[in-house]
Amino acid sequence: MTFVQKLEGSGADYYPYGEEITSELADTLIHELGHVYNQTYGLGGSAVVADANPDGSPNMAKEAQNRKTLKPSTDAISEILKQEP
């Protein structure tokens, strides 16, 4: 199954996620919730790091660090989805 998700912002440039399969959307959601967890006072933070440069462009090294951090959840999601009919 494929979903299309595009973020449109006002005054800022967002890149579209484009077509992603269910597991990729789940990974994206977990990744973004990691940022929310970091930014919400009192929650203690997460291992997901801020991955944008000051100008708003993606910081590829930090993106790679987040992919490595989230690899266990990515693998678990893939395994769960393999079991679906």
Contact 57, 15 (CB under 8 A): no
The answer to whether residue 7 is domain-embedded is no
Residue 52 CB neighbour total at 10 angstroms: 12
The answer to whether residue 12 is domain-embedded is no
* Structural domain count, the chain: 1
Q: Quote the pLDDT of residue 65.
A: 95
Domain hosting residue 74, numbered range: 21-82
Three-class DSSP labels, the chain = CEEEECCCCCCCCCCCCEEEEHHHHHHHHHHHHHHHHHHCCCCCCCCCCCCECCCCCECHHHHHHHHHHHHHHHHHHHHHHHCCC
The answer to whether residue 46 is domain-embedded is yes
Q: Quote the pLDDT of residue 41.
A: 81
The answer to whether residue 16 is domain-embedded is no
pLDDT in tens, the chain (85 residues): 233 333 444 344 544 555 667 778 788 888 888 888 888 888 878 899 999 999 989 999 999 999 999 999 989 988 888 886 6
pTM of the shown model: 0.68
